[in-house]
């Protein structure tokens, strides 16, 4: 079978297997347009260059692979101590009982499933738009699939500074669940929001988040993908940044047999800054893929990609990161680092860093390393009386520090460090 045909067949099979809920005109149009995009692209197969290091089959198949539900008895849920506007989805279904009222200062929050019934909604200017614009250099068909079929998601408009974070928890209860959510976030000029996300969501989760950040607005995003090991996830963040705006995203991934996190950032206004970071910890059949594409299309913008992976017992880490500096995007400051710490000889780290630059006055640097625990540093710590295991944990946290430093709020970074320490304590020989 020809490759294109195989990909199209996969897409058709997925679309045929799903009954898309009825919606108002704007949402139906957006969904139909996305389905058309998907049909044109087809779903990814292993031979696609962009899927060279991560097998897409379990993400594209009609039915998800079952995943045992994991109930963490030994830790309180992450971010539980932080006062937030809490929104809960269970297996991708909105849980009104568990969620707070969808109101807050300087916030307009609505569910896609409800707002999509209306004839008009502010989100129609954005829904599927950033996703549609992100296929210019590389196809991202799983995101188009999401736009076409996602039954729900949150539509969040931020009109000023929001002090209390919005917190979305994704619970997993059914071992065959297949969740698909599509969020749209619009930060109006000068506004700010912190978004927290946690949880595995389902046996399989396809999530898209489109974020438009207007001039001088700031968006902080911290996510923890949950300890369920058997879950699979394909997520996309599409962010568009206006003048002097800020985007900061940090993801903690501990466990998971299949995670593909894509982040596509478009710097369109001058003097904007986008930072995207990740810390991933994996054991055994863990597979984690960070795929990032940052486009500089304005003057004097800064971007940072900081991705760190700790791998043991044959775990696999993947990083594909690109900085594209368009013609005229002078004074760009682009930085990219991807590193892995291999705790044994069986684990694998695959990295593909790329730079593509069409402006002449820019500073871009990238680096990628793979290494083991530094024996000299370990000896130094032990010579001070710190036992080997504790010393090793300190060095793992030391390795992850540059990524964790991207979290601005000290309470949230303390929460993340606590989870990292918990994982390390549970994964000792």
Partner 1 sequence: MLNINNLHVSLEEEDKAILKGVNLEVKAGSVHAIMGPNGSGKSTLSYVLSGRDGYDVTDGTATLNGEDLLGMEPEERAAAGLFLAFQYPVEIPGVGNMTFLRTAVNAQRKTRGEAELSAGEFLKEVRAKAKSLKIDAEMLKRPVNVGFSGGEKKRNEILQMAMLEPQMCILDETDSGLDVDAMKLVAEGVNALRDAGRAFLVITHYQRLLDHIKPDVVHIMADGRIVKSGGPELALEVEQNGYADLLNEVA
Q: Which residues bind partner 1 (CB under 8 A)?
A: 374-377, 379-388, 390-391, 394-395, 397-402, 404-405
Q: How far apart are CA 227 and CA 129, in angstroms?
A: 32
- Give burial (CB, 10 Å; 0-12/13-18/19+) of 158: buried
| Three-state SS annotation for 355-386 | EEECCCCCEEEEEEEEECCCHHHHHHHHHCCC
Task: Report in angstroms how near the CB of residue 198 gets to partner 1 at its nearest.
Answer: 23
Using the structure block, give the residue that is written with the tokens 């001088």. 216
Given the complex with partner 1, which of 73 and 376 has the nearer CB atom? 376
Given the complex with partner 1, which of 28 and 398 has the nearer CB atom? 398
φ, ψ of residue 251 in degrees (nearest 5): -125, 130
Task: Report in angstroms how near the CB of residue 376 gets to partner 1 at its nearest.
Answer: 6
Task: Report in angstroms how near the CB of residue 339 gets to partner 1 at its nearest.
Answer: 12
Q: Report the Cα 344 to chain-centroid distance in Å.
A: 27
- Which pair of tokens denotes residue 82? 């932080």
Classify residue 44 as left (phi > 0), alpha (psi -120 to 50) or beta: beta
Given the complex with partner 1, which of 132 and 400 has the nearer CB atom? 400
Q: How far apart are CA 179 and CA 153, in angstroms?
A: 11
Given the complex with partner 1, which of 133 and 389 has the nearer CB atom? 389
Distances (CA, A) of 83 to 372, 373, 417: 39, 37, 19
φ, ψ of residue 247 in degrees (nearest 5): -130, 125
Given the complex with partner 1, which of 103 and 383 has the nearer CB atom? 383
Given the complex with partner 1, which of 73 and 385 has the nearer CB atom? 385
Question: H or E segment at 131?
Answer: helix 129-133
DSSP-derived letter for residue 426 is H
Task: Report in angstroms how near the CB of residue 255 gets to partner 1 at its nearest.
Answer: 22
Question: H or E segment at 392?
Answer: helix 388-404
Task: Report in angstroms how near the CB of residue 306 gets to partner 1 at its nearest.
Answer: 12
User: 357: closest CA among 333, 381, 341?
Assistant: 333
Name 198's bridge partners: 169, 224
Task: Report in angstroms how near the CB of residue 379 gets to partner 1 at its nearest.
Answer: 5
Given the complex with partner 1, which of 101 and 375 has the nearer CB atom? 375
Task: Report in angstroms how near the CB of residue 399 gets to partner 1 at its nearest.
Answer: 7
Task: Report in angstroms how near the CB of residue 404 gets to partner 1 at its nearest.
Answer: 8
Q: How far apart are CA 39 and CA 145, in angstroms?
A: 9
Name 232's bridge partners: 204, 258
Distances (CA, A) of 288 to 225, 310, 351, 372, 400: 11, 11, 12, 19, 16
Task: Report in angstroms how near the CB of residue 280 gets to partner 1 at its nearest.
Answer: 16
Given the complex with partner 1, which of 164 and 382 has the nearer CB atom? 382
Given the complex with partner 1, which of 19 and 384 has the nearer CB atom? 384
Task: Report in angstroms how near the CB of residue 288 gets to partner 1 at its nearest.
Answer: 21
Residues 6+ apart with CB under 8 A from 68: 175, 228, 230
Given the complex with partner 1, which of 265 and 337 has the nearer CB atom? 337
């Amino acid at each position: 079978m020809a490759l294109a045909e195989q990909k199209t067949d996969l897409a058709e099979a997925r679309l045929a297997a799903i009954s898309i809920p009825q919606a108002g005109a704007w949402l139906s149009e957006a969904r139909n347009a996305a389905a058309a995009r998907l049909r044109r692209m087809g779903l990814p197969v292993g031979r696609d260059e962009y899927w060279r290091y991560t097998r897409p089959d379990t993400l594209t198949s009609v039915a998800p692979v079952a995943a045992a539900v994991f109930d963490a008895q030994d830790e309180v849920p992450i971010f539980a101590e932080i006062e937030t506007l809490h929104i809960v989805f269970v297996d991708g279904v909105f849980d009104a009982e568990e969620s707070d009222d969808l109101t807050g200062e300087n916030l307009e929050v609505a569910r896609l499933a409800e707002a999509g019934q209306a004839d008009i909604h502010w989100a129609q200017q954005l829904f599927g738009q950033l996703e549609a614009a992100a296929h210019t250099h590389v196809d991202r068909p799983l995101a188009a699939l999401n736009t076409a079929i996602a039954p729900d998601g949150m539509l969040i408009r931020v009109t000023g500074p929001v002090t209390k974070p919005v917190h979305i928890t994704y619970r997993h209860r059914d071992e065959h669940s297949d969740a698909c959510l599509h969020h749209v976030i619009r930060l109006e000029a000068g506004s700010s929001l912190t978004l927290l996300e946690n949880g595995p969501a389902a046996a399989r989760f396809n999530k898209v988040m489109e974020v438009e950040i207007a001039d001088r607005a700031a968006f902080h995003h911290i996510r923890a993908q949950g300890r369920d090991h058997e879950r699979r996830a394909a997520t996309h963040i599409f962010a568009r940044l206006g003048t002097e705006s800020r985007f900061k995203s940090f993801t903690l991934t501990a466990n998971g047999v299949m995670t593909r996190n894509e982040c596509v950032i478009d710097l369109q206004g001058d003097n904007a800054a986008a930072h995207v970071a990740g810390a991933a910890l994996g054991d055994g059949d863990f597979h984690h893929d960070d795929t990032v594409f940052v486009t500089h299309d304005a003057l004097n913008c800064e971007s940072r990609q900081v991705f760190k992976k700790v791998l043991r017992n044959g775990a696999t880490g993947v990083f594909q990161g690109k900085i594209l500096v368009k013609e005229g995007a002078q004074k760009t400051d682009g930085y990219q680092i991807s590193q892995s710490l291999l705790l044994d000889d069986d684990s694998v780290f695959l990295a593909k860093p790329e730079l593509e630059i069409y402006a002449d006055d820019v500073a871009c640097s990238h680096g990628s390393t793979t290494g083991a625990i530094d024996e000299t540093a370990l000896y130094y710590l032990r010579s001070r009386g710190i036992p080997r295991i504790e010393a090793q944990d300190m060095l793992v946290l030391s390795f992850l520090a540059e990524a964790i430093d991207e979290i601005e709020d000290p309470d949230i970074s303390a929460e993340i460090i606590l989870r990292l320490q918990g994982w390390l304590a549970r994964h000792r020989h």
